A and B are shown apart, each in its own frame.
Chain A
Amino acid sequence: MIQLIIGQLLNGAIVGSLYGIVALGITLTFGITGIVNFALGAFMMLGAYFTWYGYELIGLPYPIAVIVAVLLVATLGLVADLGLFRFTRNNLVNGLLVSIGLISIIEASVLLTWTSTPKDLSYVLPGSLRVGGILLPKIKLAVFAVLLLVIASTYLALTRTWIGRAAFAYAQNPEAAALMGVKTNRLQTIVTVYSTALAGLGGALYASLYSLEPTIGAYYVLKAVESAILAGIGNTIGALVGGIIIGISEGIGSVFLPTAFRDAYGMLFLVLILLFKPSGLLGSK
């Protein structure tokens, strides 16, 4: 029993960090452009498919396939920002709906190109480590480590670099930031594209763990939005924490309660948080 619980804890943490990386994109985009970009889920799914294509069909080494996939997704993100999201800044409902239109287009295009048959990557990194009687697949540990590293360096970049501090300043007071010489349009584009790249990376790593279907994007983006709100939207490290909490509450919830409702446990938790602490778990007010 203890082993099962520890196993679920670790699994929950790893899945949760995947939610977390998409949630980080959601949080950053919301903070800087004022919209909730649901299309990040579709970009994540694209990242996964591009990785699969590069690794399985072209035969690139996995790390190269990941990098190529992330770059491709970021390019598409740039196109989407310049062509669409640029016109919906600070308009929550319009941004939401444009991103939903984009999801339909991306999902249907993937269905057309690669059909709905689930795709699997052959073992990227076989073998597992044994820690205190629990078997941990190496690939899961590697993915977890990369995700933690990326989220931590994003946090450092936000607090230590000029562009990061500009973003912070902009989130607090857009006009004052503009007066201080922050090129707000460019900042918004950079943040949107960086968020899509993060989602693409999430997808590229996801591909090495689970099988790919065109619907994974919609599933993960909902979890990511939950995670972002759970910790308090706008909170960088909170996105990761929120993701891990959701992942673990689903894992542990399905040990003690019916598995069929695993998606509901995270949501229930989220609703309670929103009702009693609307600024999120880690929120200040």
Chain B
Amino acid sequence: MMRFVPLVALACALAAPLFIRSDSTFAIVTFGLLLASLAVSFNLIFGFTGQLSFFHAASFGVAAYITAILVSDYRWNFWLAIGPALATVAMLALVVGAICFRFKLREFYFAVVTMAFSEMIRLVVVNWNSVTNGTLGMTVTAQPTLWSPSGPVALSGARVWYYVALAVLVVTYVVCQRVLASWIGRCFAAIRLNEQLGETLGVNVFLYKLLSFVIGSVLAGLVGCFYGFYTGFIEPQYLSITQSLDIISMVLLGGVSSLFGPVIGGLVLTALPHVIDLTAELRIILYGAILIFVILVMPRGIFGLFERPHHAV
């Protein structure tokens, strides 16, 4: 039964614009969908392979910066700029992942080293003023265009971006789903459940950990490419530890043991502070309280409440 939840959700999401009227609602849902994609890609590394990475914000931010710089400073086509952005993220993830996994860093140590690499990249972004405009951030004014039978359509307006964000989420979700359904997913599960046992049974632990890390990071990069153009603004904050923590919270709130859980977590955590009208500080307090509540009271997340108690492989 639970298999059909994502399909039903997709159908609802496609039909939703018929009922949504205000632009602000569209904006919240669009943000929610983009952050949900980020959460889904993170859960491939965390929930399904068992590696607590703090590199996700870096992948997301680096891709956002590269596409924005190529498009605004070098007049590249947006869709072409995605290529180098994702290639760079893949290279970075490959190097960081190879270092961490080759030296067999686990759990907390893996988290700290990925955090350190992520912070180093953020410092480069903050200090490379001539390219990134430092702490002030960059405004992105260019609008990507989309080919259509009646001529190119600019990606602008709440409705169009809603569908773009939905498409990003679907792509991320389907890629993760296909990966997990294949033998690769079973190797990930073996690593998560018992690394030593997996190794004994012939799973190449190094290779599959690296694969999970690179796929997850590249998908985060994909979200980053679009996110910068949607908000029209990019700042070093995108690469911060706080950003990584936000992603982790979404995944936990939704539920780590499924692909669909993080989608719920991303949407709920993005929408909730806007639904309840509060000042910025009270919002952060509410955010912290929700995080604590979820972990102590419902450790399997929102989606876990409806799911039979087994770990989806």
Contact = CB atoms under 8 A, between A and B. Distances in A.
Contacts of B288: 100-105, 108
Given A267-B116, A271-B116, A105 B289 contact: yes
Contact of A264 (B108, B123, B249, B283): B123
A260 interface: yes
Interface string A93-107: 110111011111101
A210 interface: no
B292 A98 contact: yes
A109 interface: yes
Interface stretch (A7-15, A84-92, A133-141): A84-92
B293 to A, nearest CB: 8
Contact of A97 (B105, B123, B249): B249
B296 A278 contact: no
Given A109-B285, A112-B281, A274 B248 contact: no
Interface centre among B292, B296, B299 (most CB of A within 10 A): B292
B204 interface: no
A229 B105 CA distance: 13
A270 interface: yes
A108 B119 contact: no
B300 to A, nearest CB: 12
B120 A97 contact: no
B117 interface: yes
B245 interface: yes
Contacts of B284: 104-105, 107-108
B270 to A, nearest CB: 16
Nearest to B106: A278
Given A104-B284, A260-B127, A97 B291 contact: yes
A92 B109 contact: no
Contacts of A162: none
Contacts of B208: none
Contacts of A258: 127
B282 interface: yes
B282 to A, nearest CB: 7
A180 B14 CA distance: 64
A138 B117 CA distance: 37
Nearest to B283: A108
B206 interface: no
A77 to B, nearest CB: 16
Interface centre among B99, B105, B241, B295 (most CB of A within 10 A): B295
B134 to A, nearest CB: 10
Contacts of A267: 116, 119-120
Interface centre among A101, A103, A112, A222 (most CB of B within 10 A): A101
A264 B119 contact: yes
A36 interface: yes
15 contacts: A84-B292, A92-B108, A96-B111, A97-B248, A97-B249, A101-B291, A108-B283, A229-B112, A264-B119, A270-B112, A270-B116, A271-B99, A271-B117, A275-B99, A278-B109
Given A97-B249, A112-B281, A278-B105, 9 more contacts: A84-B292, A94-B295, A98-B291, A102-B292, A108-B288, A109-B281, A261-B127, A264-B120, A271-B99
